[in-house]
Amino acid sequence: ETGVTQTPRHLVMGMTNKKSLKCEQHLGHNAMYWYKQSAKKPLELMFVYSLEERVENNSVPSRFSPECPNSSHLFLHLHTLQPEDSALYLCASSRTLAGILGDTQYFGPGTRLTVL
C-alpha cells in the first residue's frame, strides 16, 4: 500500500461511453501524474499537475480530459475512446514536482481499461 488509491481497478467500456478514473493520494503530496502503460511498451506520461495546476500535457488526445480539484484528487475523464486506448492507467504522486533532489514518485495500483 503506497498511499495512492485508484478506482475502479478494472473498467470495460464501449467506444461511445463516458467514464472517469479516480485517483486519491493520502501522502500530503503536491504533484500528481497520469501515465499510460500499454503491453510491452514503456510508461507514457500523460499529464502532470502541481498544486492543482496542469504543468505538463504530453500531446494527449482530447478524448482524455484530466481534472485536479485539489492536491489530493486527480481524475481522468474518458469519452469516445478507441480500442488502442486499452491499457493500464497509472496515477502517481510526489511531494513536489520532479526536480527536487531525492523526491520520489509513488504509484497507485492502476486501472486496467479495456475499450471494446
Q: Which residues bind another protein (CB under 8 A)?
A: 2, 31, 33, 41-43, 45, 48, 50, 55-56, 88, 90, 94, 97-99, 101-110, 112
Least distance to another protein, CB of residue 101, Å? 6
Copy the grid coordinates of residue 48. Answer: 502532470
Least distance to another protein, CB of residue 28, Å? 17
Least distance to another protein, CB of residue 76, Å? 15
Q: Which is nearer to another protein, 32 or 115 (CB)?
A: 32
CB < 8 Å & 24+ apart, contacts of 99-107:
105/33, 106/2, 106/3, 106/4, 106/25, 106/27, 106/29, 107/2, 107/4
Dist. CA 108–CA 90, nearest whole Å: 6
Q: Which is nearer to another protein, 3 or 14 (CB)?
A: 3
Q: Which is nearer to another protein, 98 or 116 (CB)?
A: 98
Least distance to another protein, CB of residue 80, Å? 27
Burial class (CB in 10 A: 0-12, 13-18, 19+), 6: buried
